[in-house]
Structure 1
């Protein structure tokens, strides 16, 4: 099992235990984390974004004076504020989830490693499926001749 842990970069048994604990406390976790909202403003306070973990951007406020920025500058400001608000909301949600699940829960502690491994596995699976589909297509063409 240690080889498996080393190859994955995380302990799958621990992750399974933590997932069981998470799902058994899902309602409590959802109530605590479910709708974390953050509001951020530009330095000049002419643009503000309110972001919710459950619904994304909830409100965008643009003071008419902000329109003098030009479309590129305004767009950059809005996107930057959205990223800041999203990051702030996700950080608050993680803190709340950690309070319920515990700091040692691998779903919160190892989430980046687990996410990377799952993305890698998904990429490999998609590549294998693509190759299989191409092979099946070639076989189909050979049979039709």
Structure 2
């Protein structure tokens, strides 16, 4: 083991390429997600709701005939359509993230990938523990050599 552990073998060029690739993906995600619109409409097509990432509910189209509905039904229908439009938008975002980042890196699909994510976190924690242990061992060795 070298004095610097695995840091001595770090491929800076590769890290830069990965960083640039990730930055490009983030930029693409921002640009393309700005164009997405979630949509929902009532069964009779008299009430329509549109949602966007940046604006939330951006459009509510109500046919005048829908105003004849009882107030409670109208309010419930509107709440349901807002929820459905947001769900449609979230589904589109999830699909876009899967397309751009890949299925394993899609945070919106986290429930589907929860077990995989937990395994990755456990692996990272284990690697961290090993690296920390090696660093502490190396520090103890150096401390003994220096008589501290």
RMSD of aligned residue pairs (Cα, Å): 2.8
Secondary structure, aligned partner of 1:54: coil
Rg larger in structure: 2
1:90 aligns with 2:121: no
> 2: distance between equivalents of 1:70 and 1:109?
38
The ranges of structure 1 where at least 4 consecutive aligned residues each deviate by more than 4 angstroms after the TM superposition are 20-24, 111-114
Q: Deviations over 1:87-109 (max 9, x none)?
A: 00111011011101011116344
TM-score after normalising by structure 1: 0.57
- The 5-angstrom pairing of residues 68-107 of structure 1 reads 68-105=68-105, 107=107
Q: How many residues align?
A: 97
- Structure 2 length-normalised TM: 0.56
Structure 2: stretches of 5+ with no match in the other structure: 1-19, 115-148
Distance 2:82 2:54 in 1: 14
Paired with 1:68 and 1:76, the residues of 2 have a C-alpha distance of 14
Structure 1: state its 5+ residue gaps: 1-19, 115-145
